[in-house]
Structure 1
Amino acid sequence: MFNNMKQLDTELLVGYIDNLGVDVVRQMLALYIEQSQVYLDDIAETTVNENQSGWQEACHKMKGAAGSVGLSVVHQRLVQIEKSTDDWPHKREYLASLKHENQLAITAFEKWLDSQ
């Protein structure tokens, strides 16, 4: 679905490296990896409890975090699903897709950083 989209906002990330250095950007990624797991767990919990407001809140938090570290595809995916009122089986599918996209984006970020 997102194959033709750029995984990373490299313009943003180059700006971070220019201003903060590669080591700080690596730390940002490490923090994002930790936090994204918390957000994914929170989103998963909302699918168990079928909590619409919790779904929106957890997606919104992760959307901000993904955007701030330049994970374009993950951010866009969260924009699409954050306010979804689809049924919970569909939301569980969205969550599975989001986990996959998040891992792809983290891998792309790591590879990109290694090339800097």
Structure 2
Amino acid sequence: MDFLDDTLIEQYLDVLGFDVFLQTVALYVEQSSIYLQQLDQAIEQQDYAMWQESCHILKSASGNTGLKQVFSKAGELEYSTQEFTKLAQGLAELKQLNKVSIERIQKRLA
């Protein structure tokens, strides 16, 4: 499975420079945990609007960081109207993809 969008990452590195992109990734790592917590909260509260908003924000942030599997999964889940028990399963997959993707991009930039 290809976790990173290498072409996009290279473009960001060329345009932004290494240091700025590294800061972007660090900000993503920090913020993504907040978005994932909001998704947990949306499931607990059975709030589709909160679910969609948090998925959308995570999708955008991951796309802007080159984390294509997270981007894809968040997009898949964003407008889902499945029961919250099913969404919880999707969220577990999203969390795992996010964890692995962060590890991969941090390793790539190390």
2:18 corresponding residue in structure 1: 22
What is the one-letter code of the residue matched to 1:53? A
What is the one-letter code of the residue matched to 1:56? Q
Pairing 1:42–2:38 present: yes
1:69 corresponding residue in structure 2: 65
Aligned residues: 110
Q: Which runs of 5+ in 2 are unaligned?
A: none
Residues 1-116 of structure 1 aligned to structure 2 (within 5 Å): 3=1, 6-114=2-110
SS in 1 for 2:66: coil
Segments of 4+ in structure 1 off by > 4 A?
none
Q: CA deviation at 1:17?
A: 1.1
TM (norm. structure 2) is 0.96
What is the one-letter code of the residue matched to 1:111? K
Q: Which runs of 5+ in 1 are unaligned?
A: none
Q: CA deviation at 1:112?
A: 1.3
Q: CA deviation at 1:20?
A: 1.8
Identity of aligned residues (%): 36
